[in-house]
A and B are shown apart, each in its own frame.
Chain A
Amino acid sequence: MTDDKYRAPEGMTLEGRLFRPATLAELAEAVEQAFDYRGDVTLELTSGVKIEGYVFNRYPSGPRPFLQLFAKQESGTIEIPYADITAIAFTGKDTASGKSWEAWVAKKESHRRTEADQAEAAAKVRGHL
């Protein structure tokens, strides 16, 4: 493998991708990508359990590497050893993708206005305006 096997090409997103690492090195690289991803991922564990959540930290070195995530359906954090992971799917929306300044500028004024209005409406619904 190469170090950037799991890296998304420039300007693209990992959203929708599924990784089944074959080696510990590939697993470590896939976890790095999950850590860098601004969306939820779904981890398949050796036990058969699937956990969906946001990977916010990882400890790749040491005798027992593990990651930490906020599970989507639970409160609190969960620690999962690398050794328990068989696959990582980038199932959640990549919240950092597709919002470039260029894309914003390239949109028609009416589209920008619509998006701005939608963002404002969402904040109002939450009582934040």
Chain B
Amino acid sequence: MAVPISQMYTVAKYVLTQRLKGVKRYPLVLMLEPLFRCNLACAGCGKIQYPDHVLDKRLTPEQCWAAAEECDAPMVSIPGGEPLIHPEMPDIVRGLVARKKYVYLCTNAILLERKLDDYTPSKYLTFSIHMDGLLEEHDLAVCRDGVYDVAVKAIRAALKRGFRVTTNTTLFDDANPERVRAFFDEMMKLGVEGMMISPGYSYQKAPDQKNFLKRNRTRDLFARILSDRKRTWRFNQSPLFLEFLMGQREYQCTPWGNPTYNIFGWQKPCYLLQEGYAKTFQDLLNDTEWDRYGTGRNDKCADCMVHCGYEASAVEDTFGSWSGFGRTVKATLLPGHVSR
């Protein structure tokens, strides 16, 4: 099982509590971006194109903890930029763990092995390592040779010290399903707890516009990758979201499910689109015209099937009804049951 029972229990209890309270819009994962500076310049990333004086700005630990308390999501994902560049990242993580948040520290792992001493293994802390495929594909995606090998070495070191380690993989339309499946085998052999996968999103500001996936291609690609799934593969995400990627179910986007906080404030409406910023999380919920976003509602959302919009929809499906729960159980026990 990829996600520990205690984490599943926490999330299930949180979601059911929100539903019992009649809360219509609630966050599931806070996307906390403490800085935009990175030590890579990957084609496809739309997060790092800013002037130097903006890239030099960082959220303080206090700002990070306040954001976590303000939105009160049970999980906090820390992407960026490269979080391990932030000199106060160990403090930020310690504070979030003390608040019993399940933290996913997303890193390219270039600095991870050197920084491991700064962190303490905990069920609340997971290093989520950016891996876009086997050596050839990954080094091409990050536009630098040797990064795959560095990341694999860091994964081994982190696992040896007892840290929770997962991988996060963004797939583009040139992905070769057989190579991706071989990549899954390799990650499982390494011993990671689970894998997270998502199609790329065509950031308006990303250098690599050509390689992003269109909706039908996304479904076809993920169906070919995830059908006849190996029992050894573990995914650290909703099984219904994986079925959504394979085209087996339709969901509408839940953009408030993964609210984003960074040096500019609370990002409207989601992690991927930048249509303005709110000063408080409540302002974000109240002032965003949510009906303008999602599949069929906005050109910018037309081809998006990214986890930050649709995984919360899958979780809502799981806890929305007994049949949804049943679908989740079935998808967990019989993963990828559609023939390729």
Contacts and interface: CB of A to CB of B under 8 A. Distances in A.
Given A101-B208, A116-B143, A119-B41, A95 B49 contact: yes
A123 interface: yes
A129 B110 contact: yes
Interface residues of A, number: 29
A93 B276 contact: no
A21 interface: no
Contacts of A128: 37, 39, 82, 85, 111
B205 interface: yes
A116 B111 CA distance: 18
B49 A96 contact: yes
Contacts of A93: 51
SS class of chain A's interface: helix, strand, loop or mixed?
A: mixed
A100 B264 CA distance: 26
B82 A70 contact: no
A4 interface: no
Interface in B37-89: 37, 39-41, 43-44, 46, 49-51, 53-54, 57, 82, 85
Interface string A20-55: 000000000000000100111000000000000010
Contacts of A103: 207
B208 A100 contact: yes
Contacts of A129: 39, 110-111
Given A101-B43, A119-B41, A129-B110, A54 B50 contact: yes
A64 B111 CA distance: 46
Nearest to B57: A70
Contact of B210 (A96, A102, A120): A102
A39 B210 contact: no
Interface in B129-147: 143-145
Contacts of A86: none
Interface in A91-129: 92-93, 95-96, 99-104, 116, 119-120, 123, 126, 128-129
A57 B49 contact: no
Most buried by B among A58, A72, A104, A129: A129
B277 interface: yes
B200 to A, nearest CB: 12
Given A38-B49, A93-B51, A120-B144, A57 B277 contact: yes
Given A57-B264, A57-B265, A116-B144, A104 B53 contact: no
Q: How large is the interface on B (under 10, 10 to 19, 20 to 34, 35 or more residues)?
A: 20 to 34
Contacts of A92: 51
A53 to B, nearest CB: 8
A68 B279 CA distance: 12
Given A128-B37, A128-B85, A128-B111, A95 B43 contact: no
B17 interface: no
Most buried by A among B43, B54, B208, B211: B54
A71 to B, nearest CB: 9
Given A70-B54, A128-B37, A129-B110, A101 B209 contact: yes
Contacts of A58: 276
Contacts of A120: 144
B261 to A, nearest CB: 13
A96 B50 CA distance: 8
A123 B50 CA distance: 15
A70 B54 CA distance: 8
Given A70-B57, A100-B207, A129-B110, A40 B39 contact: no
Given A40-B53, A101-B211, A116-B143, 13 more contacts: A54-B50, A54-B51, A54-B53, A57-B277, A58-B276, A72-B53, A93-B51, A96-B46, A99-B43, A116-B145, A119-B40, A119-B143, A119-B144
10 contacts: A35-B276, A56-B277, A95-B49, A95-B51, A96-B207, A99-B207, A101-B211, A104-B208, A119-B144, A128-B111
Interface of B: 37, 39-41, 43-44, 46, 49-51, 53-54, 57, 82, 85, 110-111, 143-145, 205, 207-211, 264-265, 276-277
Interface of A: 35, 38-40, 54, 56-59, 68, 70, 72, 92-93, 95-96, 99-104, 116, 119-120, 123, 126, 128-129
